[in-house]
């Protein structure tokens, strides 16, 4: 299995620009974090991150979600 660290050194990606290699590595990291997660677990994490994001921005409107 590829990890984000060794993904950027993959010989299959040698012809791609460095930025694209980094994007692939980030997508792989996200996939590995979400693997095996149920939809409700994923939704809870997204909701938690959204609430934290909007709480940190005082100029944003209040959230319509309870």
- Per-residue confidence (pLDDT) for residue 40, from 0 to 100: 95
- Per-residue confidence (pLDDT) for residue 54, from 0 to 100: 87
**pLDDT digits over 7-58, tens only?**
556 656 667 888 998 999 999 998 998 899 999 999 999 999 999 988 886 6
φ, ψ at 31 (rounded to 5°): -60, -45
> What's the length of the chain?
66
Residue 49 structure tokens: 């991150």
Residue 53 structure tokens: 């994001």
């Amino acid at each position: 299995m590829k990890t984000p660290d060794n993904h950027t050194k993959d010989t299959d990606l040698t012809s791609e620009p460095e930025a694209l290699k980094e994007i692939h590595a980030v997508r792989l990291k996200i996939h590995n974090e979400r693997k095996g997660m149920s939809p409700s677990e994923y939704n809870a994490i997204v909701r938690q991150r959204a609430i934290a994001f909007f709480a940190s921005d005082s100029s944003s409107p209040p959230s319509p979600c309870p």
